[in-house]
Amino acid sequence: MPPSKIADLFTTQTDPVANMTFIVGDEAVAVIDTGGSQRTGEALLKAIRKETDKPIKYVVTTHVHPDHHFGNQAFVQEKPQFVAHTRYPGDFAAKVSYYMERLNSPWFKGTKPVAPTMLVETETVIDLGNRPLILTAHERAHTRHDLTVFDEQTGTLIAGDLLFVEHTPTLDGSLLGWLKVTEQLEALPYKQVIPGHGAVQTGPDAFKQQTRYLSSLAQEVRAAIQKNIDINTASETVLTSQSSEWKLFELFHPRNVIQAYKELEWE
Ligand SMILES: [Zn+2]
């Protein structure tokens, strides 16, 4: 699917704002992320059916943020396995009613989140018929439960929100963990990477730009902690120099500072 637009699901109440992917094997189809509403999920299903009538055996959710999986409901009738990270169900249960409350545009009417039916603890291979996909469950990074998909045949890595392009990276897991997982992803023999937000990448530039942001964030938040700058002041002053490099910076960057501060003050 073409890249979705760069916007925030909650504040703009438009959808889709996260990338959606489907992969067709000799026998079956896998869908990775389905958008943020039933309506988007239905449009995605229609687009897939224009390409293939093979059964949709897997709907993979990269993580719990609603812009990535609230379209899952549109696929229930296809009877796929709904696949997620082994730590996903706990976070899903904790957050889902909050998400539902905040999504109140008519667009989201009828949207009901779907619980996963298949969990990945470390690594699992699913086969669509001569088209194996490696599913990897990561340590804490963007969230506590990021799942990536690697399609060996085309060398395509579907990174979910472990890679942000254009859109400010958003931190909901571990800053130091994310830096570590990014190195692991960069070492994969990929030919292209589909990020959670923004355009498909064929080289390392986007990973490098994101790492620059995350490592500067770690460095400057540590410095603020050392200087006894309080968390709220830090959220308004740390690393604001990078604002021109990213979209939605004012919305997400202060929250990233707060999240990073909470993680790093215990070092
Ligand atoms: Zn996310």
Instruction: Look up the CATH number of the domain holding residue 149.
Output: 3.60.15.10
Average pLDDT over residues 249-254: 96
Question: What is the CA(188)–ligand 1 centre distance, in A?
Answer: 21
Question: What is the CA(197)–ligand 1 centre distance, in A?
Answer: 9
Model pLDDT, residue 15: 80
Work out how many domains the chain is built from and give that number.
1
Structure tokens at 136: 């990897």
Question: What is the CA(66)–ligand 1 centre distance, in A?
Answer: 8
Question: What is the CA(24)–ligand 1 centre distance, in A?
Answer: 25
**95, 113 Cβ separation under 8 angstroms:** no
Q: How far apart are CA 113 and CA 76, in angstroms?
A: 11
Question: What is the CA(160)–ligand 1 centre distance, in A?
Answer: 7
Question: What is the CA(53)–ligand 1 centre distance, in A?
Answer: 30
Q: 14-18, 162-166, 196-200, 206-210: lowest mean pLDDT where? A: 14-18
- Would 28 be classed as within a structural domain? yes
Surrounding residues of ion ligand 1, Cβ less than 5 A = 65, 161
Residue with the two structure tokens 């470390």? 122
**pTM given for the model:** 0.95
- Would 41 be classed as within a structural domain? yes
- Would 264 be classed as within a structural domain? no
**148, 185 Cβ separation under 8 angstroms:** yes
Residue 185 confidence class, pLDDT cut points 50, 70, 90: very high
- Would 254 be classed as within a structural domain? no
CA distance to 35, 219, 242, per residue, from 89 (Å): 19, 33, 35
Q: How far apart are CA 210 and CA 32, in angstroms?
A: 22
Range of the domain at 69: 9-202
- Would 45 be classed as within a structural domain? yes
Q: How far apart are CA 66 and CA 70, in angstroms?
A: 5
- Using one digit for the tens of pLDDT, what is the confidence trace for 16-33? 889 999 999 999 999 999
Question: What is the CA(118)–ligand 1 centre distance, in A?
Answer: 20
- Would 237 be classed as within a structural domain? no
- Would 90 be classed as within a structural domain? yes
SS3 (DSSP) at 172: coil
- Would 154 be classed as within a structural domain? yes
Residue 247 confidence class, pLDDT cut points 50, 70, 90: very high
